[in-house]
Amino acid sequence: MNDTALQYVLAATVALPLLGAAGALLPAPPGLRGRSPDQAVLRHGVTVTGAVLILAIVLAAGFDHDHPARMQGTTDLSWIPALRIHLHLGVDGISLPLLVLTALLTFLCALYSYFHLPAGGSAKSFVALLLLLETGTLATFAVLDLMLFFLAFETVLIPMYFLIARWGGGDRERSALRFIVYTLLGSVVMLLGLLLIGIKAGTFDMVALATDNGSHLGHSTQLIAVLAIGLGLAVKAPMWPLHSWLPDAHTAAPTAGSVLLAGVLLKMGTYGLVRIVLPDTPDGIQTFAPYLAAFAVVGIVYGSLACLQLARQGNGGDLKRLIAYSSVGHMGFVLLGIASLNPTGVNGALFANIAHGLITGLLFFLVGAVKDRYGSSDLDQLAGRTGAALYGRAPRLGGLLAFAAVASLGLPGLAGFWGEMLAMFGSFDPAAGLSRPAYLTFTAVAAFGTLLTAGYLLTVVRRICMGDKDTAELTPALPDVRGYEFAAWTPLAALTVVAGLWPAALLGLTDPAVRSLLGGH
Amino acid sequence: MAAATPPAALPQAAALTQSVDWVALTPVVIPAALAVAVLVADLFLPRGRKVLLGWLSAAGLLAAALTLIPLRDGHRSTFCQKAGGCSYAADHFTLVVQALVLGGALLTVLLSISAVGGTDEGAGRMPAGEYWFLLLSSAAGAALLPASRDLATLIVALEVTTLPAFALVGLRREDRLSSEAALKFFLTSVTATAVSLLGISFVYAATGTLNLSQVAAGLTHTPDQLHTLAKAGVALTLVGFAFKLAVAPFHFWVPDTYAGAPLPVAAYLSVVGKAAGFSGLILVTVVAFRPYTHVWGPAIGVLAALTMTVGNVGALRQRPGVPRGAVRLLAWSSIGQAGYLLVPMAAAASAGDPAHEIGTTVAYALMYAVVNLGAFAAVALVERTAPHSRLADYRGLYARRPAAALALAFFLLCLAGLPPGVIGLFAKVAVFSSAVGEQHGWLAVIMAVNVVVALVYYLRWTALLFARAPEGAQAPDAAGAAAARTPLALTAALALTAAAGVALSGAPQLVLRYAQGTLL
């Protein structure tokens, strides 16, 4: 496909959900009314996200895989000359997988919600918010202008706030407010950093800034900029100790909200680090990388310990909260990979990003299904004294849960393995100028973290999937995986296997792009 | 109107004739003449047709705004002295602020039409002739203010803007709260004027001129013994303006005055009143007191930080059950927003090209005017069915009036600066950018924290709009249904502001171009 066609496909991918969100608020035209207004608007959501997914697949197919380091399908229009903001879109090997992942997860969420809309508000607003969220996330990965990146980064806040506050459970309004206040505080500070870079370098263009490699920015400017931008992205990622909004938000959010929060929104933070901080301010990140790595490994261990604590019998741990904490740990590996500042580590980080999106997305779907069936996600209530015996009561659900859990703990052959492995490899031999002994320590701690991860995930599998014979034969029988659930989950499970068996498909895309971004090193 | 012929502009020499460029003056003269015309027409119109006065005022303000178009090249000035220097300049800065003032007044008129005069003059109604007269007079003063280029004209224009406003605030008959608000407003404002006049007299003593650019020239070489006097004059003048603008710590009158005033008047004060005050402050600081940037620059920076913090914290403390809570919240939020408006002015003090930073203030003010008036229009709409105007009355508005709720949510998010309120976001980005660009990092950080604090209360209100309505609360009876029929003028105001807000969100360049161009 030539570049002009690719350009239109990319622009349409970003714009279509926005138009769809506006369309969802309008009354359905005659002929598309469906059985009821709710059904019509939910179908509208599935149609639009499906079309976006098809566009994303076309984009991936038309992408020139021989030159993944080159920005492709670029559009560059002047939008607000007063602030030097351009409508600059483009896709390369780093953003392409994330775009496809976003389109896929949003489509699966829309599909799942079509059959199973969470209680709380009207279907109309749910679909409109979901589509607005998709616009924001897709735009974050597609834009190449710092101010547009900020705009896209902020666009996701309002829809996610309302998804949690309206359709959530538990202490949802507080959790939603906490989520948005934390993230906004981070992103406003990030804005100051972005403005500093833009004003000092004279451009907000991410391609130009990446090519410059910070040569127009003084050392202290870079330090301040990295600190400000890094803070905003670290809240989003989330990096320990700025993660405390995450468990509450995940626990309160409805299934679709949790899936998108873990699968896509967290990636915006790490993507920003790779796309903006690494190439634009190489001197600054060189100084801060060891601290980032230290926080990352603390996050790995902290997340795993929190999960172990939640998984233990008698602690009343919530399954959703447990997976939220496991995200803190997994994102710790991503941050560690980025902090190693070498191609191996960054590639690992990007791989782990995608893998985490697939696996944790699947896990949240499964946990949501368990919660629907039992009416609770409290581990003690589910498991009782001997275990919930899901293998016996709903074998397919149990099997999938066990599959997702072992994928999450990094079993070789599944997606979770490569990213974390490469991140640790990268950190084993960090970029020149970084302290090797410190990074060796970090690697060792991270490796210890993988053991802890295996520990709590296996505990969860034992307590949820296994159990005694009496529990397994309890009546009424638990409904096993339904058709629409299969439809929503199979793609994730399949991709987890594919990415695990054929990592080169993804690494081949990211590696040249990463090498070009890290050109200064 | 006396304001149209400022005394300071008269030639002191024997040459008694002066050519006056009436074309340049039209944006001021039309509202002033119309004010008198409306007052006279009120005597002859039968009671049932007084609503025509409102539409007449609206048409007049629209005409005045349209006369800005032929002036748009921005080179005219009038009331010039032979010694050099003009008292009235219709440059780009003037035209933009005049457009803001006239547009804001026009929207205020649309908001007022259903509340003023008409068939029954009950307790809540206001007398039509007086109301339109006062509003138009005040608008004429506000339109004159940005064009003033000497200190006397400036003060006269400021008084013409505020004096009718006292009467407007207290116009609701038999309303104790309203008269108390008017008195509070009057006392603070008179004090402010007195302090300003004292300051101006000091400046005059030190420089021997009232013309703004000549004051600037005079201040650069004041004799040593007058140095302290000049400095004190600058400080006192600024204190006076700070009072008028409700800049913290002189903000205490705002919430009570807004809550006591008729709603359209509160809307008018929060937009046109502020715009007039800001243009005055800009002229005084950036043009007249330019040699003293080291005095007023840091002072305005500190005031900006203080004002936004006080305003936002005040707004955060509003509880949903309080009567007139919605207006009070908007009052506190307007104080907070005034703080953001001051930030580029503080940056202008250290900028090589102050006009650039001033443009950012103007651009932000334009955005604020559109969305704040829109929010007031939505509040006016809700107030028709819920006269207490508590925040709690907004619960579940989306279920009852989806369009109004969506519009209000959009305005609030614009004020908060979050997408989908794109224009609010980029106006804030422009302000941040001017602070970061001029090395005012500390101010940018304080503003960042304030933006987050402000989000909490804006979002709380927005969330209330979409919350489920309380059980059994909505059983609209006949009276409720009658009140629920929205008057045409109110719908027009809401639709205009919403359309403007959406258009600006798609093309922020429309207002942000002032943040780039040279205005003064």
Residues of A in contact with B419 (CB under 8 A): 136, 151, 154-155, 157-158
CB contact under 8 A, A81 and B509: yes
Considering only CB atoms, B426 lies closest to which of A81, A83, A196, namely A83
* Selection from B162, B155, B12, B158 nearest residue B79 by Cα: B12
Residues of B in contact with A136 (CB under 8 A): 419
Q: Which of A178, A190, A192 should we substitute to test contact with B (largest number of B Cβ atoms within 10 Å)? A: A192
Residue at A116 is within a domain: no
CB contact under 8 A, B436 and A177: no
Q: Establish whether the linkage from the previous residue to A68 is cis, with ω within 30° of 0.
A: no
Residues of A at the B interface, defined by Cβ within 8 angstroms: 25, 79-83, 85, 121, 125, 132, 136, 147, 150-151, 154-155, 157-158, 161-162, 165-166, 173, 177, 180-181, 184-185, 188-189, 191-192, 195-196, 198-199
Q: Is some CB atom of chain A closer than 8 A to the CB atom of B481?
A: no
Q: Which H or E run contains B79? A: strand B76-80
Q: Is some CB atom of chain A closer than 8 A to the CB atom of B426?
A: yes
Residues of B in contact with A195 (CB under 8 A): 429, 432-433, 436-437
Residue at A305 is within a domain: yes
* Selection from B295, B281, B214, B269 nearest residue B242 by Cα: B281
Write down the pLDDT at residue B2. 41
| Interface subset of B 362-421, CB within 8 angstroms of A | 363, 406, 413, 418-420
A9 neighbors A62 (Cβ within 8 angstroms): yes
| Interface subset of B 269-298, CB within 8 angstroms of A | none
Joined together, the tokens standing for residue A462 give 């034992």
Residue at A71 is within a domain: no
Nearest C-alpha in B relative to A129:
B420
Write down the pLDDT at residue B1. 38
Write down the pLDDT at residue B4. 45
Considering only CB atoms, B456 lies closest to which of A147, A181, A189, namely A181
Mention every residue, 6+ apart, whose C-beta is less than 8 A from residue A88: A74, A75, A76, A77, A143, A144, A145, A148, A205, A206, A207
pLDDT at residue B25 above 80? yes
CA of A239 to nearest chain B CA: how many angstroms apart? 20
Nearest C-alpha in B relative to A155:
B419
Write down the pLDDT at residue B3. 42
CB contact under 8 A, A82 and B452: no
The total number of structural domains in chain A stands at 1
pLDDT at residue B383 above 70? yes
Mention every residue, 6+ apart, whose C-beta is less than 8 A from residue A320: A250, A251, A258, A364, A367, A371, A377
Q: Which residues of chain A have pLDDT under 50?
A: 521
- What's the 3-state SS for B255-316? HHHHHHCCHHHHHHHHHHHHHHHHHHHHHHHHHHCHHHHHHHHHHHHHHHHHHHHHHHHHHH
How far is Cα B142 from Cα B163, in angstroms, rounded to an integer? 11
Residues of A in contact with B514 (CB under 8 A): 82
For residue A489, the one-letter residue type is W
CB contact under 8 A, A158 and B413: yes
Q: Which residue has tokens 């600006």?
A: B504
Nearest C-alpha in A relative to B436:
A196
Q: Which domain holds residue A465?
A: 281-513
Q: How far is CA A47 from CA A21, A41, A221, A490, B173, in A?
A: 12, 10, 47, 19, 58
Dump pLDDT digits (tens) for B291-333: 888 888 888 999 999 999 999 999 998 887 888 888 999 999 9
Q: Is some CB atom of chain A closer than 8 A to the CB atom of B320?
A: no
Residues of A in contact with B455 (CB under 8 A): 180-181, 184
Burial of A34 (0-12, 13-18, 19+ CB in 10 A): middle
CA of B247 to nearest chain A CA: how many angstroms apart? 24
| Interface subset of B 321-360, CB within 8 angstroms of A | none
Q: Which H or E run contains A72? A: strand A72-80
Q: Which backbone phi and psi does A407 adopt, to 5 degrees?
A: -65, -40
Dump pLDDT digits (tens) for B233-286: 988 888 888 877 888 888 888 888 888 888 999 999 999 988 988 899 999 988
Write down the pLDDT at residue A520. 52
Q: Is some CB atom of chain A closer than 8 A to the CB atom of B7?
A: no
Residue at A196 is within a domain: no
pLDDT at residue B9 above 50? no
How far is Cα A83 from Cα A147, in angstroms, rounded to an integer? 9
Dump pLDDT digits (tens) for B450-507: 999 999 999 989 988 888 766 555 544 444 555 557 788 889 999 999 999 999 998 9
* Selection from A108, A131, A169, A120 nearest residue A485 by Cα: A108
Write down the pLDDT at residue A90. 92
The sign one gets for the Cα dihedral A498, A502, A505, A506 is positive
CB contact under 8 A, B413 and A125: no
Dump pLDDT digits (tens) for B101-144: 999 999 999 998 887 755 444 445 678 888 999 999 999 999 99
Q: Is some CB atom of chain A closer than 8 A to the CB atom of B310?
A: no
CA of A227 to nearest chain B CA: how many angstroms apart? 13
Average pLDDT, chain B: 85
Residues of B in contact with A185 (CB under 8 A): 448-449, 452
Write down the pLDDT at residue B178. 75
For residue B514, the one-letter residue type is Y
